[in-house]
């Protein structure tokens, strides 16, 4: 079954932690994003990155092909008191005028795209000197920790799931953007714990590519019951401190394409 996050938009909105405040603070502190910038957020989903930048004075357009996720994003934007322009399309098929944006962001989504085409399009859509920011906010599996236990349970239920055992670092993305002509490539990362109750962690995993976005409802419900049992038996204390890593690649568009 194809991965479809729209099928789990409700859990995605309620239970998946968005990018932390420290991520946005870093972007503004190092000049990657400035108040008033025109920003395009690729694969915006429920709008974590787009909304965070809109709250900081940017003019943001959110791009995603999933109507259910965009609907959730619009509801959250209204609650936060910001306006994000929405465009429904796949990145590879989107149509923006050249040199339309100061910043293009891609939060937790670059791996879902045709990466060479998306990098080339991003360079076209950026103004000279514009910034491409590819960011991730990943849980971190370590020997014997909650994340590793959860990943093993996901694999037992969905052996075809490949997004396990990650480090939260993405060196291949540097090659993508360098080959598209971007310059001044820089990366940075930091770790932090995210507090999750049992109920929220179960919802977070239901919203993941390995479970709710892929499996049928019966299999997803069976997994959820097994995860509840695992948490009660081996990670009973609440809230749980779940290790996460923020990783960001920043690159500069050198100029207009010839």
- Lowest-pLDDT choice from 41-50, 59-68, 100-109, 155-164: 155-164
- Band (pLDDT 50/70/90 cuts) for residue 185 is very high
Residue 183 belongs to domain with CATH number: 3.40.50.150
Residue at 148 is within a domain:
no
Q: How many CB atoms lie within 10 A of CB 219?
A: 14
Q: Which two tokens stand for residue 225?
A: 């019951």
Within 13 Å of residue 156, how many CA atoms lie on the same side as its CB? 11
Residue at 216 is within a domain:
no
Beta bridge partners of 168: none
Residue at 207 is within a domain:
no
Residues 46 and 35: beta-carbon distance below 8 Å: no
Does pTM surpass 0.85? yes
Residue at 184 is within a domain:
yes
H or E segment and range at residue 246: strand 240-252
- Band (pLDDT 50/70/90 cuts) for residue 15 is very low
Residue at 64 is within a domain:
yes
Q: Can you give the pLDDT at residue 16?
A: 59
Residue at 225 is within a domain:
no
Q: What is the mean pLDDT of the chain?
A: 92
Residue at 89 is within a domain:
yes
- Lowest-pLDDT choice from 29-38, 86-95, 197-206, 239-248: 197-206
Nearest residue to 140 via CA among 248, 245, 249, 227: 245
Residue at 202 is within a domain:
no
H or E segment and range at residue 120: helix 115-125
Q: Which two tokens stand for residue 24?
A: 């946005």
Q: What is the domain count for the chain?
A: 1
Contacts of 72 (CB under 8 A, 6+ apart): 9, 10, 12, 13, 46, 47
Residues 60 and 86: beta-carbon distance below 8 Å: no
Is it the case that residue 6 has pLDDT exceeding 70?
no
Torsion angle of the four alpha carbons 114, 94, 174, 250, in this order, in degrees rounded to the nearest 10: -160
* Structural domain containing residue 57: 5-140+165-194+245-252
pLDDT digits (tens, 9 = 90+) for 144-168: 999 999 999 999 999 999 999 999 9
């Amino acid at each position: 079954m194809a991965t479809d996050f729209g099928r789990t938009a409700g859990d995605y909105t309620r239970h998946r932690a968005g990018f932390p405040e420290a991520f946005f603070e870093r972007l503004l502190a190092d000049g990657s994003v400035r108040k008033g910038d025109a920003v395009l957020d690729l694969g915006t989903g429920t709008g974590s990155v787009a909304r965070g930048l809109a709250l900081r004075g940017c003019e943001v357009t959110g791009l995603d092909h999933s109507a259910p996720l965009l609907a959730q994003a619009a509801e959250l934007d209204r609650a936060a008191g910001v306006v994000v322009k929405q465009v429904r399309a796949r990145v590879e098929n989107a149509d923006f005028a050249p040199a339309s944006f100061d910043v293009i962001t891609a939060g937790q989504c670059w791996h879902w795209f045709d990466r060479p085409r998306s990098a080339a399009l991003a360079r076209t859509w950026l103004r000279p000197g514009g910034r491409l920011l590819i960011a991730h906010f990943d849980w971190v599996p370590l020997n014997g920790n909650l994340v590793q236990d959860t990943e093993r349970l996901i694999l037992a239920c969905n052996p075809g799931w490949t997004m396990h055992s990650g480090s939260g670092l993405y060196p291949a993305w540097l090659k993508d953007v360098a080959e598209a002509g971007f310059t001044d490539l820089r990366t940075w990362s930091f770790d932090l714990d995210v507090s999750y109750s049992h109920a929220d962690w179960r919802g977070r995993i239901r919203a993941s590519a390995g479970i709710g976005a892929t499996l049928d409802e019966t299999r997803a419900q069976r997994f959820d019951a097994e995860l509840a049992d695992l948490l009660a038996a081996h990670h009973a204390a609440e809230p749980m401190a779940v290790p996460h890593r923020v990783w960001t690649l920043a690159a500069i568009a050198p100029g207009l394409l010839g």
